[in-house]
Amino acid sequence: MNKDILVTIEHIRGQVAELSYMMLAAGRILAKQTGGEVVALLLGHNQQPLANDLGADRVWYTDHPNLADFTADAYLDVVAGQIQLASPRAVLFGHSSMGMDLASGLSARLNLPLVTQCQKITLVDDALQFVCQLCGGKMMAEGVLPEPTALLTMVPGDLSPDVGRSAVAPEVVTQEAPGLEKLRIKLLRYVEPDADDIDITKESILIAVGRGLSNKDDLELVEELAENLGGTLCASRPIVDLGWLPTSRLIGKSGRIVKPKLYLALGISGAPEHVEGFMGSDMIVAINTDPTAPIFDVAHFGAEVEMLDLVEELTDQLELTPV
C-alpha cells in the first residue's frame, strides 16, 4: 500500500512561495493519515539552500540549468520520473498556474487521476475522502481519493504556512536530472507590475472595464467618466491581456482584491475569478447588454444597456452637475 506524500515546491527568484509551505502543511496532515512520509520535490539550479526550511521528512533536490526557472515541460520530465520512482499515495500541487500546468500534464502523461481545487482530505472508514471546489467555489464535490496514486491541486486556505516550515534543515537527497534537451518552452522574461502606478486597493471609487469595450480608443471616454466621478480605472483580465491597462489595474484571482465604496463594472460578464476580487465592495453597479450575465447576480444595481451609451450620458450629466 502506498503511503508517502510528495509535495512539489514552487519558487520564484530565490524565494519559496507561501503556497508551498501551506502545501507542506497539508502534506504533513495527510501523511499522518496514511502513515507515510512527506517528500518535498525541489527543482532548480544552484537553489539547494531553499531546502533548508522546508517542513518535510526529506527533500529530493534536482539541479539543472534548464530548471533555473519553472517551465512545464522541464518540470514534467523530472517529476514524472520521481512519481514513477516513489509510487506515492498522493502528489500535492498548489492550485496555482504552475500547479495546474504541471499536474494536468502529469495526469495525462502517467494516466493518473487528478483532483483539482481540493480544500481538504479526511480519513473516513479507512478511505481518504476529498472535498473540492467546482465552478470557482460555487459548488463543492466530495469523493474517495482514487488509489493507488492520486494527483491533487489544493487550495489550502485555512492552513498556516508556518506549519509547513521547519527550524531544522531536512535531509536532502540529490537526484540526477533527466536529459532535458528537447524542451519546447523557455522563460523569456518576467513582467513586473508597474510599481509607480496607483494602488487601486486604496481607491474608494473604481470604474472597471471588461471585454464589452471593443475599441481601445473608447477607453478615453471611460477615463473621462472616472475623472468626473473622482474614481480610478481598473479592468478584468482581457483588457489587461490586451495591454490596454497595466497589470497593476487587474481585479480578481490573479490581480488585486479591492473593497471600494463604489465598484462600477462596465461590460464585464462576472466570471468567478473576477468577482472574487471585488465582492467586499460597499456598492456594486453592473452595466451589461446581456440580461443573463452572472455579474447581475452579485450587483446591487444593474442596467441592461450599451456601456458607452451610459458612459457618455453619465459624463454629460456629471459635467452639468459635478460631484
Which residues, numbered 107-136, are part of the site for ligand FAD (CB under 6 A)? Answer: none
222 phi, psi to nearest 5 deg? -70, -35
The one among 4, 267, 285, 299 contacting ligand FAD by CB under 6 A = 267
Q: Is 34 in the site for ligand FAD (CB under 6 A)?
A: no
The one among 81, 146, 238, 246 contacting ligand FAD by CB under 6 A = 238
Q: Is 269 in the site for ligand FAD (CB under 6 A)?
A: yes
Q: Is 284 in the site for ligand FAD (CB under 6 A)?
A: no
Q: Is 258 in the site for ligand FAD (CB under 6 A)?
A: no
Q: In this structure, are residues 244 and 222 in contact, taking their beta carbons and an 8 Å threshold?
A: no
The CB-of-148 to ligand FAD minimum distance in angstroms stands at 29
The CB-of-54 to ligand FAD minimum distance in angstroms stands at 26
Q: Residues 70, 74, 76, 77: is their CA dihedral positive or negative?
A: negative
Joined together, the cell numbers standing for residue 128 give 481518504
Q: In this structure, are residues 131 and 140 in contact, taking their beta carbons and an 8 Å threshold?
A: yes
Tell me which amino acid residue 318 is.
L
Q: Distance (Å, rounded) from C-alpha 239 to C-alpha 258? A: 18
* Burial class for 85, CB neighbours closer than 10 Å (0-12, 13-18, 19+): exposed
Q: Is 254 in the site for ligand FAD (CB under 6 A)?
A: yes
Q: Is 255 in the site for ligand FAD (CB under 6 A)?
A: yes
Q: Is 290 in the site for ligand FAD (CB under 6 A)?
A: yes
Q: Within 13 Å, how many C-alpha atoms sit on residue 178's CB side?
A: 13
Kindly tell me which of 60 and 263 has the beta carbon lying closer to ligand FAD. 263
- List Cβ neighbours of 279 (8 Å cut-off, separation of 6 or more): 298
Element of type H or E holding 225:
helix 219-229
Ranges assigned E (strand) in the chain: 5-8, 11-12, 15-16, 38-44, 58-63, 90-94, 114-124, 127-134, 139-144, 150-154, 171-175, 205-209, 232-235, 262-266, 283-287, 301-303
Kindly tell me which of 177 and 250 has the beta carbon lying closer to ligand FAD. 250
Q: Is 194 in the site for ligand FAD (CB under 6 A)?
A: no
Q: Is 307 in the site for ligand FAD (CB under 6 A)?
A: yes
The CB-of-274 to ligand FAD minimum distance in angstroms stands at 3
Q: In this structure, are residues 80 and 6 in contact, taking their beta carbons and an 8 Å threshold?
A: no
The one among 287, 296, 302, 315 contacting ligand FAD by CB under 6 A = 287
Q: Which span sits near ligand FAD by CB under 6 A: 70-78, 138-146, 150-158, 282-290?
A: 282-290
Spell out the alpha helix ranges (H) of 87-137. 97-110
Q: Which residues of 91-100 are buried (b: 16+ CB within 10 A; e: fewer)?
A: bbbbbbebbb
Q: Which span sits near ligand FAD by CB under 6 A: 103-111, 112-120, 179-187, 230-238?
A: 230-238
The one among 110, 163, 180, 271 contacting ligand FAD by CB under 6 A = 271
Q: Is 293 in the site for ligand FAD (CB under 6 A)?
A: yes
Q: Is 250 in the site for ligand FAD (CB under 6 A)?
A: yes
The one among 87, 174, 201, 289 contacting ligand FAD by CB under 6 A = 289
Residues that bind ligand FAD (CB under 6 A): 210-212, 236-238, 250-255, 267-269, 271, 273-274, 277, 287-290, 293, 306-307
